[in-house]
């Protein structure tokens, strides 16, 4: 399994036993989350923006409006940090100090590049669509030339990355186990609800199987 080199940028300093540098666990976090948070710097000021994403091999894809100054900046070779987080639970210990969260998070580093090739751009947009709802792309009207022009797609070759996670119940100080305090985990997860048809949907059109399976 191929590992990202450990450099000062991606090395996890705190609780290093929670960290992993192999592509597989890092990408498992990236691929199973619907959104990421993109960090960038302008005039020394950090900005963090949520957006949807996809991964193609060792490249992260994000997109936005061509009218967006942010997208222009992201595609101009800017240093980016893309963080993907799953919150898995609240860890309730017997002391305030040992409370924690169960989570999985991946932090990716690289520089953004504007995709100009039209075929590559279309493939990247398809990847974003399929990441969120596999099967959707083939079912909907494809982007027109004008719509493609109105969309900026940025690829970030993943230069460096790491993931960090915590699982399991609370770890209390030995003396605290005698306290009469409830302890355990409150699991938390992102869940989809029931599909809601558009008000203008022709009622003879059923929800496709690839969307039904996304419901919980």
Q: Does 184 bind a copy of itself (CB under 8 A)?
A: yes
Q: Which is nearer to a copy of itself, 26 or 70 (CB)?
A: 70
Closest by CA to 40, choosing from 70, 64, 61, 16, is 70
Residue 43, Ramachandran bin (φ over 0: left; ψ between -120 and 50: alpha; else beta): left
Q: Which of 32, 76, 118, 142 binds a copy of itself (CB under 8 A)?
A: 142
Choose one: 18-26, 53-61, 112-120, 146-154; the region binding a copy of itself (CB under 8 A): 146-154
Q: According to CB under 8 A, which residues from 90 to 119 bind a copy of itself?
A: 90, 92-97, 99, 101, 103, 105, 107, 109
In the structure encoding, which two tokens stand for residue 159, read together?
């230069």
Q: How far apart are the C-alpha atoms of 99 and 146, rounded to whole Å?
A: 52
How many beta carbons lie within 10 A of that of residue 130, not counting itself? Answer: 15
Q: How far is CA 180 from CA 71, 90, 94, 101, 175, in A?
A: 54, 19, 8, 22, 12
Choose one: 20-28, 54-62, 113-121, 124-132; the region binding a copy of itself (CB under 8 A): 124-132
Count Cβ atoms within 10 A of the Cβ of residue 144 and give its class: 0-12 exposed, 13-18 middle, 19 or more buried: exposed
Q: How far is the CB of 172 from a copy of itself (least distance, A)?
A: 8
Q: How far is the CB of 34 from a copy of itself (least distance, A)?
A: 6
Q: Are 114 and 157 in contact (CB under 8 A)?
A: no
Choose one: 23-31, 53-61, 112-120, 181-189; the region binding a copy of itself (CB under 8 A): 181-189
Q: According to CB under 8 A, which residues from 24 to 83 bind a copy of itself?
A: 34-35, 37-41, 44-50, 52, 64-65, 67-70, 79-83
């Amino acid at each position: 399994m191929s590992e990202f080199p450990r450099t000062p940028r991606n090395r996890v300093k705190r609780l290093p036993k929670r960290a992993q540098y192999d592509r597989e666990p890092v990408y498992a976090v990236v691929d199973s989350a619907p959104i990421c948070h993109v960090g960038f710097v302008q005039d020394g000021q950090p900005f963090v923006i949520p957006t949807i994403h996809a991964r193609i091999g060792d490249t992260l894809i994000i997109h936005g409006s061509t009218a967006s100054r942010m997208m222009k900046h992201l595609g101009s070779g800017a240093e980016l940090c893309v963080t993907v987080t799953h919150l898995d639970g609240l860890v309730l210990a017997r002391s305030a100090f040992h409370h924690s969260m169960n989570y999985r998070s991946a932090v990716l580093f690289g520089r953004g590049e504007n995709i100009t090739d039209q075929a590559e751009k279309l493939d990247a947009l398809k990847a974003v669509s399929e990441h969120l709802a596999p099967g959707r792309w083939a079912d909907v009207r494809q982007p027109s030339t004008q719509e493609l022009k109105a969309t900026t797609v940025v690829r970030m070759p993943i230069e460096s990355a790491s993931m960090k996670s915590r699982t399991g119940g609370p770890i209390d100080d030995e003396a605290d186990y005698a306290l009469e305090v409830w302890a355990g985990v409150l699991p938390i997860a992102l869940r989809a609800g029931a599909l809601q048809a558009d008000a203008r949907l022709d009622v003879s059109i059923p929800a496709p199987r690839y969307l039904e399976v996304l419901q919980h």
